[in-house]
Homo-oligomer: A and B are copies of this chain.
Amino acid sequence: MSTQKNIVILGSTGSIGMNSLEVIGGFPDRFRAMYLTTNKNIDLLQEQVDRFRPKGVVVLDEGKACELRKRVDGSVEVLSGEAGLEEVVTREEVDVVISSLVGFAGLKPTVAAIQHRKRIALANKETLVVAGSLITSLVREYGVDLLPVDSEHSAIFQCLVGEDRSRVTKLILTASGGPFLNVPAGEFAALTVEEALNHPKWKMGNKITIDSATLMNKGLEVIEAHWLFGLPGDRIQVVIHPQSVIHSMVEFVDGSVKAQLGLPDMKLPIQYALSYPERWPMNGARVDFPALRSMTFFEPDRDKFRCLGLAYDALSLGGTAPAVLNAANEVAVNSFLARKISFDKIPTVIERALTLHKTRSNPDIQEIIEADHQTREFVGTLL
| A interface residues, Cβ below 8 angstroms from B | 158-159, 161-164, 167, 170, 172, 239-241, 246, 249, 251-263, 265, 268, 271-272, 275, 278-282, 284-287, 289-290, 292-299
Contacts and interface: CB of A to CB of B under 8 A. Distances in A.
Contact of A297 (B172, B254, B294): B294
Contacts of A279: 163-164, 167, 252-254, 256
A288 to B, nearest CB: 9
Contacts of A293: 296-298
Given A164-B279, A290-B298, A259 B256 contact: no
A296 to B, nearest CB: 5
B278 A249 contact: no
B262 A261 contact: no
A295 B295 CA distance: 5
A261 to B, nearest CB: 4
A172 B261 CA distance: 12
Contact of A162 (B162, B240, B257, B287): B162
A257 B159 CA distance: 10
B239 A290 contact: yes
B239 A254 contact: no
A241 B261 CA distance: 16
Nearest to A278: B164
Contact of A290 (B271, B272, B278, B299): B299
